[in-house]
Amino acid sequence: MEHTVHLSKSTTSRRSFLRRGLAVGGAGAISAGLFANGLPAFAEVESGGLTPGDAAILRFLSALEILETDLWQQYNELGGIQDSEVPGGTGSAAYTKALKVLDGDMDQYIHDNTEDEFTHFTFINAYLMSKGADPVNLDKFRTLPSSKATGAQDIGRLTNLMQLTVDTSYWTKYRSRTKNPDFGDTFPPAVPGLLKGQFPAIPRDNNDLSPADHIQAIANTAGFHFAFIEQGGTSLYPSLAQRVIHPEVLRILLSIGPTETQHFQTWQDKAGNAPALTDPTNGLVFPDLNASGGEDTQTNLIMPEPTIFLSRKFPVVSIIRPTATEGAAMGAVKALTDDGLFIGQSDEFFAFLRKLAKQADAARHGG
């Protein structure tokens, strides 16, 4: 962090702009041309950097990717594959087995999703630094407890996976042919019980490993939570992309965003395999989705239904939803907060996250 503070302070220096500009691939040639034309080097080299709005959007996305990485790491330690690509933890056999009821490859997918998130924030931070902008570091907020179950590391966390209130309305949102959240529409949850309490998505300790329907309910909760998280990213990237200015920043958002969509669709398919059951310890019900909601929850309908977009005067179209850009960053913070992910976090954490979101939402609105 010291290093980054130094960088940000140095942005007023003409020399440092020049130095950084020359260090970035491609910028050297531009600078040479400038001198040949006798143009003021300061302004031109500065233009190779980021606008405040682009930097704010990238910084907010970096923060969210760090938070995503933190939660995925917890899933990987207990239910994924712990290896040199995604180190940490030693796995929980009972939890991993329950997750595999949803798909025999769940551990591989958890591992790969975790690695993807790590690369998302690492890349965005490196890109920010290459442009002389501050990267994001949330280390001082790693204060939440780890699971006490065998297999998890005992380290400070950013996110809480043990008191989740998972909104599964993404399921019916993508099934509707007549509604769109961008029109103010709301959608019923596929698993109503998950909205009526706080439930663990990882075993909190070894007592959570039995009875069988309890650890399966925890694995089911995780399965629906995976899709909840990734459908959020699926909307966030296109929502924010509409307000970036530099084509390269747009390219970053357009290239990372759809990987969230790949994750989402995989996870929705797996969540559809979560067995119907009632958790004997808390009464949480996972319904038979093929019996309860008609086509809206039919488990093999995982591709988006066409729906209204932009205006009702247009024909329906198969799209990501929502993608409205106004307030998109703050909306993401609210959704994750409502999810229970940040239960136990400090006021300072919420203030910091809201500040990043506010700055991102102000981009290109006079900011």
Distance CA(187)–CA(185), nearest Å, equals 7
Q: At what angle do helices 106-130 and 247-271 cross, to 10 degrees?
A: 170
Taking CB under 5 A as the criterion, the residue among 53, 79, 151, 233 binding Fe ion is: 233
Q: How many CB atoms lie within 10 A of CB 123?
A: 15
| Token pair in block for residue 233 | 């990213």
Q: Which is nearer to Fe ion, 210 or 262 (CB)?
A: 262
Q: Which is nearer to Fe ion, 169 or 235 (CB)?
A: 235
Q: Which is nearer to Fe ion, 215 or 227 (CB)?
A: 227
Q: Which is nearer to Fe ion, 264 or 309 (CB)?
A: 264
257 binds Fe ion (CB under 5 A): no
Residue in the block written with tokens 């909190």: 204
Instruction: State the DSSP code for 132.
Output: T
| Token pair in block for residue 355 | 């500040």
Burial class (CB in 10 A: 0-12, 13-18, 19+), 51: middle
> Pattern 212-231, binding to Fe ion, x per CB under 5 A?
------------------x-
Instruction: State the DSSP code for 286.
Output: E
Q: Which stretch in 109-117, 133-141, 162-170, 306-314 sits in contact with Fe ion by CB under 5 A?
A: 109-117
Taking CB under 5 A as the criterion, the residue among 44, 115, 208, 260 binding Fe ion is: 260
**Smallest separation (angstroms) from Fe ion to the CB of 232:** 8
Residue nearest Fe ion, CB atom distance = 120
Burial class (CB in 10 A: 0-12, 13-18, 19+), 177: exposed
**Smallest separation (angstroms) from Fe ion to the CB of 332:** 12
Q: Which is nearer to Fe ion, 18 or 161 (CB)?
A: 161
Strand partners, 277: 286
Distance CA(52)–CA(70), nearest Å, equals 27
Calculate the alpha carbon distances from 353 to 39, 79, 198, 236 in Å: 40, 28, 23, 15
| Token pair in block for residue 53 | 């709005």
> Pattern 116-135, binding to Fe ion, x per CB under 5 A?
-x--x---------------
> Pattern 48-77, binding to Fe ion, x per CB under 5 A?
-----------------x--x---------
**Smallest separation (angstroms) from Fe ion to the CB of 263:** 5
Residue in the block written with tokens 């979101």: 357
Query: What number of chain residues touch Fe ion (CB under 5 A)?
Result: 7
**Smallest separation (angstroms) from Fe ion to the CB of 234:** 8
**Smallest separation (angstroms) from Fe ion to the CB of 138:** 15
Footprint of Fe ion on this chain (CB under 5 A)? 65, 68, 117, 120, 230, 233, 260
